[in-house]
Amino acid sequence: PGTESCPLQASGVTITFTGAKPPERTQFPPDSDFLKGIKVNEDGVLDMHGKPYTPTWSRLAATVEEGSSIVTLQDDVDWEAGQDVVVVTTRHGDMDDDHQNEVR
């Protein structure tokens, strides 16, 4: 889908897996919800190109208060409404019982 010089510009591209679900979960952990996926074999390449958004990341320009729906970034971005934004912790590591990373 798309090429590096001519990326796919359409929105709402969906990959749909069809057919019966496998009877056993042999490729994923037993508690995983993943039953199908895209596999790239060793030395293989999965090459997909969509609309490039830049920058792909930025730093906060100000502290975001708990419950706020607005963040101020250091950089101008061309992100669109409805896209996911991941806010990661500045801690050395995220703790199992005290998650600081969020997807909004």
* Spatial CA neighbour of 100 closest among 91, 62, 61, 83: 91
The pLDDT confidence band at residue 33, using thresholds 50, 70 and 90, is low
Distance of CA 22 to the CA centre of its chain: 26
The pLDDT confidence band at residue 104, using thresholds 50, 70 and 90, is low
- Contact partners, residue 6, CB within 8 Å, separation at least 6: 49
79 pLDDT more than 80: yes
Structure tokens at 42: 């060793």
77 pLDDT more than 70: yes
Structure tokens at 17: 């897996």
What pLDDT score was predicted for residue 76? 94
Name the percent of the chain lying above pLDDT 90.
11
CA atoms within 13 Å, Cβ hemisphere of 92: 0
Greater pLDDT, 52 or 1: 52
* Spatial CA neighbour of 71 closest among 102, 98, 47: 102
